[in-house]
Amino acid sequence: MREIVLDTETTGFEPSEGHRIVEIGAVELFNHLPTGRTYHQYINPERAMPKDAFDVHGLGDDFLRDKPVFSTIGTAFLQFIGEAQLVIHNAAFDMKFLNHELQRAGLPVLPLHRATDTLLIARQKYPGSPASLDALCRRFGVDNSAREKHGALLDSEILAEVYLELVGGRQPDFALSAASTNPRQDGASGLSQDWRPRPRPVPLSPRMTEDETAAHAAFVAKLGEAAIWKKRL
């Protein structure tokens, strides 16, 4: 299962008021394990940066002036995420901005069901407790000491760790679904999409003794010819 943990930085709170995305960061997971592939892009918002937003992420007009506009990077962004499920903290916020930008660029928008919201997961799992990303880092012991200001790639890397804790630990499936030693490689993630466990080279020996087998057969015989166990012997 391929997932993309994603975060954005913006000029404000509402795209309907003219606010734009200025940064996208994303981390790829495969079967709940980081693959090492990331996506990171600064974006020229084609407008001035409000002071309140600058104080949050530190991305100013001078820095963003020579960065590409969204319409020139939108296709590459969609290619990176592919058909993967998106993992976002407060997904409604990021999705409305992403879809606003995609629509402006004449590109396909993302259906809301593509997003798994870690904020909602945290609120359901720990009702009444703080559910901000910083609060969840404290709860799970995730190091966020480098997070002096908001940054999309750093935040997505931190969120990936938090997400794996929310769904049962950093390695919830104990890597049982990792790629085999000779997988069919997937071009997007470099991992196998159709891995299946191999048959045991030597079958396990029966665990029932001869006496237990005989006793079971005698018991089934008493159930009559219509007993389902007759079909198992």
Q: Which positions are annotated as active-site residues?
A: 150
Q: What does the chain look like in DSSP terms, one character per residue?
A: -EEEEEEEEESSS-GGGT--EEEEEEEEEETTEEEEEEEEEE---SSPPPHHHHHHH---HHHHTTSPPHHHHHHHHHHHHTTPEEEETTHHHHHHHHHHHHHHTT-PPPPGGGEEEHHHHHHHHSTTS--SHHHHHHHHT---TT-SS--HHHHHHHHHHHHHHHTTSSSTTTTTTSPPSS--B-TTTSSBSS--PPPPSSPPPP-S-HHHHHHHHHHHHTT-TT-GGGGT-
